[in-house]
Amino acid sequence: SAFNQLLKAEIQGGLLLSTITEFDFGAGPLAITAGLLGTLLPQFAYLDPSEALQFMVRPALAPIFTGDPGASGELATLLISHLEFSVVPVSEPSVVLLGGVVDVTLGVDVGFDGDGLSFDVETPDPSNIDVILIENPLYVDPSTLDLFLPSLVGLAVPTLTDSLGSFPLLHSLVPFPCVRPLLLA
């Protein structure tokens, strides 16, 4: 569809490319450090607890709207496949401490905010998140990751989808009055 082509162009322009340095676990934002991750994944406890870490996220494929409604009644389903992630020290971003890819299925409501299309993305259910570990130099236990990473991805998805922002429609249509507005099915 035309909208999926627009998403592809936006991905090529940097959409969903993100660096996450803090998470809000419900008590306010916390900086991601080796000490914080060490409480969840013991192998990170071997690092200096004050070591600042960051999650680097990069889409390898453009997300697609399937045309199906979301699992909880949202207007649409968005598939984000092969979203690459890595946990790296802020001081040495070329050193990957943990890396892999994520596939996630999200329910999305689409609205119009006056300037264009806006997106309200629901927090994904852990059963709709698949994580494949590719780099694991700290030998983090994969079974622990199976429990931890879907929750972490669930926390990160709102941050990632904030980058969707809104797509302006009216400004691009004004100079071309013969073009009909994009309608979502």
Angle at 154 between CA 149 and CA 157, to 5 degrees: 120
E strand segments, the chain: 18-20, 22-24, 29-31, 53-59, 64-65, 76-89, 98-112, 116-121, 129-135, 166-168
- CA dist., res. 136 & res. 9, Å (int): 32
What string of DSSP letters covers 63-97?
-EE-SSPPTTS-SEEEEEEEEEEEEEESS-TT--S
Average pLDDT over residues 123-138: 86
36: enclosing H helix or E strand: helix 34-40
Look at residue 102 and tell me whether its pLDDT is greater than 90: no
pLDDT band at 179 (very low <50, low <70, confident <90, very high): very low
pLDDT at 9: 78
pLDDT, tens digit, for every residue of 30-48? Answer: 899 999 999 888 999 999 9
pLDDT at 57: 86
Sign, CA dihedral 116-179-185-126, equals negative
> How large a percentage of the chain has pLDDT more than 90?
24
Average pLDDT, the chain: 79
Q: Which residues of 42-71 are buried (b: 16+ CB within 10 A; e: fewer)?
A: ebbeebeeebebbbbbbbeebbbbeeeebe
Average pLDDT over residues 130-157: 80
- What is residue 32's three-state secondary structure? coil
Neighbours of 14 (CB within 10 A): 11
pLDDT, tens digit, for every residue of 50-66? Answer: 999 999 988 888 888 88
pTM more than 0.75:
no
pLDDT at 137: 96
